[in-house]
Structure 1
């Protein structure tokens, strides 16, 4: 218990220098969260404060109970796109109720260790997910780069120059923060004709209040919100687990995925009780945080706390912040998120891996649905893997002591049973048959059924059959499900 508490404290404050870096990184993230949260609120069909309050509550809560220090969670587009019909048909109170149920489902998923399903997501899918998200981040900035004044383009260029060149002067202050503050000051001083944060929607005034959703506690209400809650919980956990893995790789550290899943659930419940929508981890803001020096829980907490301070105290000033400054930061995130090595690896990696990565990217970009892209990539990876394994199989026929001996090597499962069955080219004689499976492994009832079919056909033709050499796992499977003679007690024993 002492070790756990010590590790938890270190995730907050390693030393004074780390705390300062976390604080500055959190401030940058808070500024970048404002237009994102407003935009997601518009997507969901709710007031901007619903997305902004959600970002505050989720970021501050996940900093306390999450499993991935330094990762940013807030209101996200992945969840916002799912709830539009619910809000339109039943109102925002049903959204809050659905978000609470979403959180409870995520806590249950953490207890059931559903985070372990991430083991089935291949590296190619993760690379495709990252590249697709980088493209979506870039595409999201496009409205701020079309039909705007030349001053807007100049500010974006200046912002990128500051972001990439200022670290050569000093890394004491995150360059994205310098870019935002410098361009905001120039815009206000010169009165430049550029879009501001306030143009996206009215910022809320004051602090969010605690309130239980005003919905009837009936089965009809539950039937309405349950499909939305299940979908939001699944999408939120998927994006959070993938983002946690990416931050793990960026920081060369590990995270507690079970705790993160449960923390996401708790954060969403708190968000709903304070008038916010659901959310999850955000790869864009997490990249901003990490590249700005944020590593600990303090950076995530500062992001939420400073966003609350901006909304409650500095709202009018925040509304005047120029959008080109934030566009420059998000373009930096897009460039930094994209795995540029994956382009060169298209020729180096196996074709199947490249296809999985490209399909993941294409599906995400076309559907704007991260979960659909990951699902497509995982299914394709499974098909390619099954195809590869089913080719790792051979049947050799030899004549030995007046009988036909078939030596089987490789993996016998649903994808290889057809080749397994066709490999037994039987001669028109009555010689005994010995099937040696000492070099094979039976994985499922499809493989057992194929062996049953072969044995039954041979015996129907009047040919004696023996099957020998089962390994222990295969023998257990045969004993339970085979229709022909069992393997006996001894490992690899011949049938009775």
Structure 2
């Protein structure tokens, strides 16, 4: 087997891999914590995404790891099934993705309306924001009463955690804003890394000056027992085999496989668009690579992974050229977990919550919602429906209902434009503009009812490639009854035939 990487562009790939590694650390940890999983599971997913998926993928610049888009699914699965069964669902999802790849279903993303995809991402963003607000304000689990009264919020808030959250959000906003262009070389440092460094600095300073508000041990990243390679290997765990007998595991696996595949394919398209060399990534091969990655993650205790646009775009911006950059990012994650885990435990959870709040806001941008609203009901309705259903139920149901809503508007639009009717005195023209199905029977009958007695009707099907037999039947019934109303019917281009059907004159009645 040939070496999966080229060293020809290593001068560009090594620095890019370092940048992606620095971006990935806070995201891996934050997504794992938001998912209710052990923090190390997010790091494992990042390692597998770099070492395994990058080796098998056909994309030069795409980078894989745990994704915010799966946070809601994983959190629900862990709460309902437990972490070990969720891992089995991840294994099964990987197998499903492999099947998707071999069945060449890599174009599945193109069959989902863009408005539904945006609705899915917006709903994920909103849920992410709601879930991270307590952590952002330093409220530990169970500290806030169920009443969620303003007084309870104020009493439970940690001032230092709130300061760290606000400062971190300020840094993330500054890096993304036009004003950030003035930072010069400082802006080359990834925003997430800068937020982590500043947050650690604020926390350490508060301890040194003995500030009245300090963080407790529960408000930091916790990676217990990671004091070397052997300890890290000891933390790897396998899935619960009993999950194979649980129907809920299979439904969770299907949900993960569908959403992870969809997010991967969308990320792949986005990365290809920003690739300076305009290379095309094979989607079927990417699904296979993601399937192997999720299979491995589920077997060793990692979160489900996808191709991630945040890390991939960081790779592009850092000048990455080949898959070697993604592999390097995975290797650096592995080294950091094995030898420098104690440094990761300095990171305040409030800083990671700020990073996820910023990510959630970008997924649910108000400007995007306004743009969809202005584009018309046929785009905004599927978007809004997807958001509402996901918020009320779950992600898979929301996407399914959103697709059905999009299909409704498509059929409605097609139904209205499939034919037209014009009348001038006793001359009528019914024109069929495109393929017509039984769904247009009611509109056809409405038009035929408008044809007056003693008139001449032309039914022109020259632009129609397919005419449903039910439509033929309705036209035949109309022509049979038109004789009594003295209506002449001319059929144009019906199966390539043009014919005129005139009523037969009735014989006058004899006088009694």
SS in 2 for 1:394: strand
Answer yes or no: is the 8 Å Cα contact 1:97–1:225 preserved in 2: yes
Which of 369, 372, 375 lines up with 2:400 in the alignment? 375
Question: Map of 1:63-462 to 2, 5 A cutoff?
Answer: 63-68=54-59, 69-74=61-66, 76-81=70-75, 83-84=77-78, 87-88=81-82, 92=84, 94-146=85-137, 147-163=156-172, 164=174, 168-170=183-185, 171-191=187-207, 193-194=214-215, 199=220, 201-203=222-224, 205=226, 206-208=231-233, 215=241, 221=245, 225-249=249-273, 253=278, 254-282=280-308, 297-339=323-365, 341-346=367-372, 348-367=374-393, 369-392=394-417, 393-396=419-422, 406-425=430-449, 435-442=459-466, 447-459=468-480
Distance (whole Å) between structure 2 residues aligned to residue 195 and residue 296 of structure 1:
43
Distance (whole Å) between structure 2 residues aligned to residue 234 and residue 364 of structure 1:
15
Distance (whole Å) between structure 2 residues aligned to residue 450 and residue 140 of structure 1:
53
- Structure 1 pair 236–197 and aligned structure 2 pair: CA distance change class (3 A): farther
Matched, 1:40 2:49: no
Answer yes or no: is the 8 Å Cα contact 1:103–1:266 preserved in 2: yes
Q: Which runs of 5+ in 1 are unaligned?
A: 471-486
SS in 1 for 2:462: strand
Which of 21, 24, 27 lines up with 2:19 in the alignment? 24
- Structure 1 pair 316–410 and aligned structure 2 pair: CA distance change class (3 A): same
Distance (whole Å) between structure 2 residues aligned to residue 27 and residue 423 of structure 1:
66
Stretch of structure 1 that moved more, 20-29 or 244-253? 244-253
Answer yes or no: is the 8 Å Cα contact 1:151–1:194 preserved in 2: yes
Distance (whole Å) between structure 1 residues aligned to residue 157 and residue 326 of structure 2:
33
- TM-score, normalised to structure 1, is 0.76
Aligned length: 457
- Structure 1 pair 175–196 and aligned structure 2 pair: CA distance change class (3 A): farther
Aligned to 1:475: none
Pair member with larger Rg = 2
Deviations 1:406-446 (A, max 9, x none): 54334422442210232223879799976431133436xxx
Distance (whole Å) between structure 2 residues aligned to residue 224 and residue 174 of structure 1:
40
Distance (whole Å) between structure 2 residues aligned to residue 224 and residue 344 of structure 1:
37
- Structure 1 pair 221–122 and aligned structure 2 pair: CA distance change class (3 A): closer
Distance (whole Å) between structure 1 residues aligned to residue 398 and residue 45 of structure 2:
26
Distance (whole Å) between structure 1 residues aligned to residue 334 and residue 303 of structure 2:
16
Deviation at residue 353 of structure 1 after TM alignment: 1.9
Distance (whole Å) between structure 2 residues aligned to residue 212 and residue 279 of structure 1:
17
- Structure 1 pair 378–347 and aligned structure 2 pair: CA distance change class (3 A): closer
Deviations 1:32-87 (A, max 9, x none): 21132133244xxxx55445434432443222223443333226424414533773
Answer yes or no: is the 8 Å Cα contact 1:352–1:384 preserved in 2: yes
- Structure 1 pair 494–101 and aligned structure 2 pair: CA distance change class (3 A): farther
Answer yes or no: is the 8 Å Cα contact 1:67–1:260 preserved in 2: yes
- Structure 1 pair 451–154 and aligned structure 2 pair: CA distance change class (3 A): same
- Structure 1 pair 37–404 and aligned structure 2 pair: CA distance change class (3 A): closer
Answer yes or no: is the 8 Å Cα contact 2:200–2:348 preserved in 1: yes
SS in 1 for 2:233: coil
SS in 2 for 1:255: coil
SS in 2 for 1:114: coil
Answer yes or no: is the 8 Å Cα contact 1:174–1:293 preserved in 2: no
Deviations 1:334-393 (A, max 9, x none): 4444545425525642332233333333334444x4433333332222211221121112
Deviations 1:224-259 (A, max 9, x none): 754443333223222322333444455575533222
Deviations 1:142-176 (A, max 9, x none): 11233433222333333344442676131443233
